[in-house]
Amino acid sequence: MKYSNIIVGAGFSGAVTANLIATRLGEKVLVIDKKSHVAGNCYDFRNKNGIMVHQYGSHIFHTNNEKVWNYLKQFTDFNTYMHEVVGVTDGIEAHIPFNFNTLYQVFPESMARRMEEKLLSTFEYNTKVPILEFQKQDDKDLKYLADYVYEKIFLNYTTKQWGLSPKDVDGTVTARVPVYLSKDNRYFQDKYQGIPLEGYTKVVEKMLDNKNIKVVLNTDFSEFRKNNPELVNSSRIFYTGSIDEYFDYKFGQLPYRSVNFKFEEYDREFYQSHACVNYPNNYDFTRIHEYKHYLSDKSDKTVIAKEYSEFFELGKNERYYPISSQDNTELYNKYLIEAENVDNLYLLGRLGDYRYYNMDGAIAKALELFEEVFGA
């Protein structure tokens, strides 16, 4: 069968694009993915104990983009889950990002009160200060606090997560872990937050449930292209894979961080107090996920995943996070120039755009690209 559109990748970027083309234009779409399931790294499933497990790490949907929210609401209802994260610091569970509540959790009350007063006289309440900016303090107490937060919460966690010193990590990444001058313990402050009631996989399955869409799994695009050159050359290609792979690494590999999850099951109702507990200074893993918190799943057992960060190695693990740097941006731009010379090739997603998208950002890009390409 002839397809006018081939979409490589059945994660959110690819599924949104396929759904829009099939429903709004009525065109045929072929979706291929090398995984054995749809939903990409958002894939989740209910295990034998009825717990919704996120196979590739915790995914919490959050956005201020009403257009994205309303689009997703066609396919799911959300619970009202608002994510809170704690980290173990000097043996104390304390809220992250570091906020006024954290201040009183880790310091004696008199000391915390003194620092709180100085913080409020220096910064506006309810503002977020990137940690590397926060370190630029002259006051003795605030300098001590900045060094404490940097060393106890930020330094080792960032080094484990990225394999780099925080000073070598792009500012857009370090800004994700600020000092928050507030008593708001939520990790995200977006207007819309929650977990799909039936999970992310069901959302993607509903997006792809259309007579104009055919999904083929366990299919690598490189092999598919070799075996179907005429089909590929005559179709629009919406590519959510890694751009360097599309061009057979002619300029070299783009660096990524990868993640390895070690799953463990326990005969107890809960393993930890929150869905995510960070371990900045202890152990080799960065954090532990406990999934039953997300949808309030009821079971006398629980499942956790310890998250270990590592560099991506071709053929060994998966790409998760693009590593932002000037050299990597220059390498990506070489591939981007190549892509611009290929007719009917459109790039999107974390790997296609080499950008650290959240889920809402990836969906927003797919919506924008559809309008750009089809004017619809």
DSSP output for 34-92: SSSSSSGGG-EEE-TTS-EEETTS---EEES-HHHHHHHTTT--B-----BEEEEETTE
262 in any annotated domain: no
| Angle CA 370–170–150, to nearest 5 | 130
Query: Would you place residue 168 in the very low, low, confident or very high pLDDT band (cuts 50, 70, 90)?
Result: confident
Question: What Rg value do the Cα atoms of the chain yield, rounded?
Answer: 22
Are 72 and 116 contained in the same domain?
Answer: no
Residue 340 CB contacts under 8 Å (≥ 6 apart), including other chains: none
pLDDT at 189: 96
Decide if pLDDT at 171 tops 80: no
Question: How would you class 325 by CB atoms within 10 Å of its CB: exposed for 0-12, middle for 13-18, buried for 19 or more?
Answer: middle
Final residue belonging to a domain, choices 127, 162, 185: 185
Query: Would you place residue 224 in the very low, low, confident or very high pLDDT band (cuts 50, 70, 90)?
Result: very high
pLDDT in tens, 26-79: 999 999 999 999 999 999 999 999 999 999 999 999 999 999 999 999 999 999
pLDDT at 176: 60
Are 31 and 51 contained in the same domain?
Answer: yes
274 in any annotated domain: no
Going by C-alpha positions, the residue among 32, 25, 16, 28 that lies closest to residue 228 is: 32
299 in any annotated domain: no
If one counts the domains in the chain, the total is 2
53 in any annotated domain: yes
Q: 228 near 2, Cβ under 8 Å? A: no
Per-residue pLDDT averaged across 259-286, rounded?
A: 97
Per-residue pLDDT averaged across 149-177, rounded?
A: 80
Per-residue pLDDT averaged across 248-275, rounded?
A: 98
Per-residue pLDDT averaged across 83-95, rounded?
A: 96
Per-residue pLDDT averaged across 216-226, rounded?
A: 97
191 in any annotated domain: no
Are 117 and 67 contained in the same domain?
Answer: no
* Distance of alpha carbon 102 from alpha carbon 293, whole angstroms: 22
Are 109 and 203 contained in the same domain?
Answer: no
Q: What is the CATH number of the domain that holds 354?
A: 3.40.50.720
Are 157 and 210 contained in the same domain?
Answer: no
Are 231 and 346 contained in the same domain?
Answer: yes
Final residue belonging to a domain, choices 127, 156, 185: 185
- Domain holding 359, by residue range, is 5-79+197-252+323-374
Are 331 and 235 contained in the same domain?
Answer: yes
Are 21 and 75 contained in the same domain?
Answer: yes
Are 147 and 96 contained in the same domain?
Answer: yes
Are 68 and 217 contained in the same domain?
Answer: yes
Residues of the chain above pLDDT 90, percent: 88
267 in any annotated domain: no
Most confident of 49-53, 130-134, 230-234: 49-53
Are 102 and 155 contained in the same domain?
Answer: yes
312 in any annotated domain: no
Final residue belonging to a domain, choices 185, 215, 235: 185
311 in any annotated domain: no
Are 47 and 160 contained in the same domain?
Answer: no
**DSSP state letters, 191-225:** SEEE-BTT-HHHHHHHHH-STTEEEE-S--HHHHH
pLDDT at 173: 65
